[in-house]
Amino acid sequence: MTLRATALFLLSASLLASCTTRTQPAPGTDTEFGRLSTLKPGEQDSIRTRLKVNVVFVGYREALPGQVQTAQNVNTRDFRDTLPKSYETIARIPSAYGNTEYTGNVFDYDYNYVFADQKFEDDFFGYLSQNATEKPLTVYQKYFNCQFVTETDEETGEEYQVPTDKCEAPSPLINRPVEKNFEIDALATENWLADNVSRVGVKPGEYTIYLVNWYSRPDFKFHSYTRADAADTDTGTRFGARASRRLIAWGGSVRQGAAPQRVWFYDLSANPDPWTDAWDVTNFDSTGDGEPDYRMPPIWEYGTRKASVAYGRKVSVDLARVVRYTALNLLFTPSPIYRVALTPPRMPEEIELDVRVEQGEGARDPGTLLNRALLQSRVSVLQPFAKFSTNVRQTALDGDLADVYNCFFPVEAEDICSPDFADFSGEELFQFGVRELRESYRAAGDKYLLPIYAFNDASDSQGGLLGIAYDDGQTGTQSFVYSFLTPSLINPGGYGFTDTTVHEVGHHLSLSHPHDGYDSEEDLSYGSSGFFRFVDSGDQSATIMSYNDLSRTFGQFNLDAQYRYLTAAYLNNTNAILEIARRAGKVQGVQGAARSADALFAQAEREYTAMNYFRAAELGHQGYRAVLDAATTAGVQVQAYKWYENLTGLSTQTVKAQPRISKDHLPKKGAWIMPEETPEQRARRLAE
C-alpha cells in the first residue's frame, strides 16, 4: 500500500470512528421523561460509593509473619477478619415496625492500615508530654487501683460488692496501679493528629482512626484526656470538670474555616476509661442487666494471668471490634433513627420549632433555661435548605395537662392511665399533643411544625429523664419532642432546656446516639450492654447526641451523615414525584425539569463520591425542587405525609404486629427501638 493510500485509509477509519461515536446513545435509561442517567421514576434507589477508612497504629507493634502474636501486638489479619465489607443504612425506628426501610446510602469500605514511623511517634508523644498537666488521681483511677470491697446489708445480711477508692495496697487483680494523672486537652490532641495526617500517608479529609498506645515507651505518663471547659449552655455547669468525663477517645470536631476533619483517636493507654467502666476489671456485669459485659481494659492489663476481665484477651482483636462497632457503625457511617425526609414525598421547605413551655408553679424562670436563638441556629444545620423559625409559648403546668404529664411518670406500675393501649403510660400525653398539633396546623400553611414540649416541673416528680423524641406509634414516623426539668435536674444536676432540646430535635431530624446503633451485615441492633458495653466510647466524640455533655453542637460525623441522608432522600422523593406525575398523565409538563434534575443528581453523586456531602445535598435539593415545582405547575397533587392525620387506635386488643421495642441495650437481631436511657446510663450521666 502506498503512503498516500495508507493516509486515506487512516483518515477514513478516523472519520468512521468519529461518526460511530456521535451516533451512540447517551448513557442512561429510556423513560417517558426522556433518557435519564441517574433518576429512576417510581423506584427506590441507592447511592453506592467506595469509602476509604484509614486505621493508623501509633505506639503499637505489628506481629510479623512467623512470630507468635503476643497480647499487645497488632495483627492486621484480626482487622480483616472482623471489619465489614460494606454497610447499608436504614431508618431504624420505622424499620422496627416491620419492613426494613433503607435510606439509600450504601458504602463499600476500602481499608488502609498504617503503622506510624518512629519520628511520628516521637513527635506525637512528645507533644502529649509537653501539653500534659499533672492533676490528682480521679476517683475512677483510684477505683481501678483498689477495685471492690465486700459489704453486708444490715437488714437482710446479704453480701454485695462496692467499689472503693481507699485501700492500703493496690488490688491483687490488677497488673499495675495508676500512679499519676497527667491531663491533656482532647480537642488539641485531635487537631494535632488531623494536622499531621499527611505524615502517615493519609489525605486530609479522609476518615481516619488513630489507635494509640503510649504505654510501651520509656517516656510514658499515666494520663487522661479532658474537655475541661465544656459547660451547660443555660446553667454554666462545667461537666468537663467531672471525673466521670475523663476520656480515652475524641474526634469529629468541626474547625471553623477549615476543611472537614474526619479524625477519631482511641487510646487504651489512657485513664482507665470511666465512661465504659473499664476501671472495673473484677465485676463481669457492671450494668446489672444479667449479661457479662465486654469492656476494653487499659493496655497494661492485656496479657495478664490474673482472674480478671482482661484474662486471655488480645488487644488486636479488641481494637478491631472498636473500629467496627464504634467507629464505623456509630460514628462514620451510622444509620439514622428516623426518616430524614420528614414528610415524604413532599419534603418541607419551612420548619417552625413550635415550643410550648409548660411551667410548674414555683419552678425556675424558663427565660434562664431556654435560649431560643441558640436552639434554632444549632438545629438548622441539619436541614440547611429549609427556612427555620421559632415560636415559644408558655402555659401553666396544671389541670388536664398536669394529669397527662403525671401519667407519663407513673408512681407505681399499676398507676397507668391508658391500660387498653400499647403505650399505657404515654398515650394520654401523646393524644393531648395530637389535639393541640392539629389545631396549630390550621394556621400553619405549608410550614412543618416540629412540636416541642418543655416541662418545667416545680417538684422532683420523676427520676431524672431529660428528654425523648417520640414516634407516632404506628409507622415509626417522628412525632413529639419532650424535654423535662425538675429542681434536682437543674441543681445539682446542672441542666437547662437548651442543650437537651437540641439533642432531642437532633433525633427528630434523624440522628442517632453515638452509643447505640445497627450493624447491617449482621442485621443487628445493639447498645452499650453485654458484648457491646465498650461502644459507649462513641460518646467520646464531638456531638451533642452523646450523653457526656461535652459538646453543644453537631459534629463533623453528624453533618456528613445528615447530608448523605438528605442527598439520597432528595433523589428518591424526586423519583416518587416523577411517578406521581406519570400516573396523573402529566409527563409532558415535567419532562424538561426531569432531564435538568437528572443532570443535577449526576453531579450530586460525583460530589458525594468526592466526600463533598453538603454540596451533594445542595445539588440534590435543586434537582428535587426543579421537579416538584414543574409537577405543581402542571397540576400534579404532591401531598406531604401528615402522621397526625393518619392515626388509628393503639388498643392492645386490635394491634396485631407490634413494633420491636427493647427495654435494654443488649444486642438483638433486626431493627429495634432502643430505650432513650437505661438506669445505669442515667446514674453515670449524673455522676461527678
Closest CA to 370 of 459, 495, 492: 495
pLDDT at 443: 86
Average pLDDT over residues 401-421: 80
Phi, psi at residue 232, to the nearest 5°? -65, 140
Q: Which residues, other chains included, contact 512 with Cβ-Cβ below 8 Å and sequence gap of 6+? A: 92, 330, 334, 335, 336, 337, 545
Closest CA to 63 of 293, 315, 371: 315
- Burial of residue 104 (number of CB atoms within 10 Å: 0-12, 13-18, 19+): buried
- Residue 37 CA to chain centroid, in angstroms? 32
pLDDT at 495: 97
pLDDT at 367: 94
Percent of residues, the chain, with pLDDT higher than 70 = 94
- For residues 522 and 22, the model is more confident at 522
pTM assigned to the model: 0.94
The answer on pLDDT for 2 being more than 50 is: no
Residue 255, amino acid: R
pLDDT at 258: 85
Q: What is the pLDDT of residues 199-214, one digit of tens each?
A: 999 999 999 999 999 9
- DSSP class of residue 336? P
Q: What is the pLDDT of residues 162-196, one digit of tens each?
A: 999 999 999 999 999 999 999 999 999 999 999 99
Average pLDDT over residues 39-61: 97
- Is residue 424 within 8 A of residue 432, CB to CB? The reply is no
The answer on pLDDT for 651 being more than 70 is: no
Side-chain-facing half-sphere of 60: CA atoms under 13 Å: 31
Q: What is the pLDDT of residues 462-471, one digit of tens each?
A: 989 999 999 9
The answer on pLDDT for 12 being more than 50 is: no
Please, which pLDDT band fits residue 16 given cuts at 50, 70 and 90? very low
The answer on pLDDT for 10 being more than 50 is: no
Q: What is the pLDDT of residues 607-632, one digit of tens each?
A: 999 999 999 999 999 999 999 999 99
> How many Cβ atoms are within 10 Å of 445's Cβ, its own excluded?
8
The answer on pLDDT for 600 being more than 50 is: yes
How far apart, in whole angstroms, are the C-alpha atoms of residue 377 and residue 383? 11
pLDDT at 21: 43
Give SS3 for 438: helix
Computed over its alpha carbons, how large is the radius of gyration of the chain? 28
pLDDT at 369: 98
Please, which pLDDT band fits residue 411 given cuts at 50, 70 and 90? low
Query: How do 478-485 and 448-456 pair as beta strands?
Result: parallel
Write the DSSP string, 278-293: TT-SS-S-TT-SSS--
Q: What is the pLDDT of residues 528-557, one digit of tens each?
A: 999 999 999 999 999 999 999 999 999 999
Where are the extended beta strands (E) located within 423-562?
A: 448-456, 467-471, 478-485, 517-519, 524-526
Average pLDDT over residues 122-132: 98
How far apart, in whole angstroms, are the C-alpha atoms of residue 92 and residue 33? 34
Give the dihedral sign, CA 331/333/337/339: positive
How far apart, in whole angstroms, are the C-alpha atoms of residue 233 and residue 243? 20
Average pLDDT over residues 215-219: 95
Q: What is the pLDDT of residues 239-253, one digit of tens each?
A: 999 999 999 999 999
Closest CA to 53 of 197, 246, 236: 197
- Burial of residue 677 (number of CB atoms within 10 Å: 0-12, 13-18, 19+): middle
